[in-house]
């Protein structure tokens, strides 16, 4: 089984970007942890990050036929991007949406996600451990 972990804009700055909101774990640390958990679960985890919407869409399209599931934290694009929603729908790969913060307790513009309606699950507010929860949950759902 292959799982793609896809991160959107400004997530490359984790660890230094507003640590009071997003924590001190870097994206590299989160990704290393996911690869290790994937090995424990017997799945291959590959990780990508981009600050560019079109590149994220290209990665989603390329995952068709190659990934069994996607974990996505689209960052601010979660709240605005119909294009990412459409790309995820087009490839029909089950996905889990992750947010480090509880988006429902944030500013009004962050309280809605264009991606959540199509997601197998949405995890928000657990910080970096939310990625591992999403991975374990998605793998379990795909194996069921």
Active site residues: 22, 99
Contact 28, 5 (CB under 8 A): no
DSSP reduced 3-state for 95: strand
- The residues with which 49 forms a beta bridge, in sequence order, are 7
- The residues with which 105 forms a beta bridge, in sequence order, are none
- Gap between the Cα atoms of 126 and 55, Å rounded: 27
- Gap between the Cα atoms of 108 and 102, Å rounded: 12
Length of the chain (residues): 144
Q: Which two tokens stand for residue 37?
A: 């958990």
- Gap between the Cα atoms of 74 and 38, Å rounded: 21
């Amino acid at each position: 089984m292959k799982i793609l972990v896809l991160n959107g804009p400004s997530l490359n700055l984790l660890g230094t970007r507003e640590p009071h909101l997003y924590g001190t774990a870097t994206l590299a640390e989160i990704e290393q942890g996911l690869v290790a958990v994937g090995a424990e679960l017997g799945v291959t985890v590959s990780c990508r990050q981009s600050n560019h919407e079109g590149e994220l869409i290209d990665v989603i399209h390329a995952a068709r036929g190659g990934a069994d599931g996607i974990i996505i934290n689209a960052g601010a694009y979660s709240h605005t991007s119909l294009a990412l929603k459409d790309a995820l729908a087009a490839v029909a790969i089950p996905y889990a949406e992750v947010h480090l913060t509880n988006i429902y307790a944030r500013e009004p513009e962050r309280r809605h996600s264009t991606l959540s309606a199509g997601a197998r699950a949405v995890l928000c507010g657990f910080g970096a451990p939310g990625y591992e929860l999403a991975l374990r949950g998605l793998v379990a759902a795909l194996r069921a």
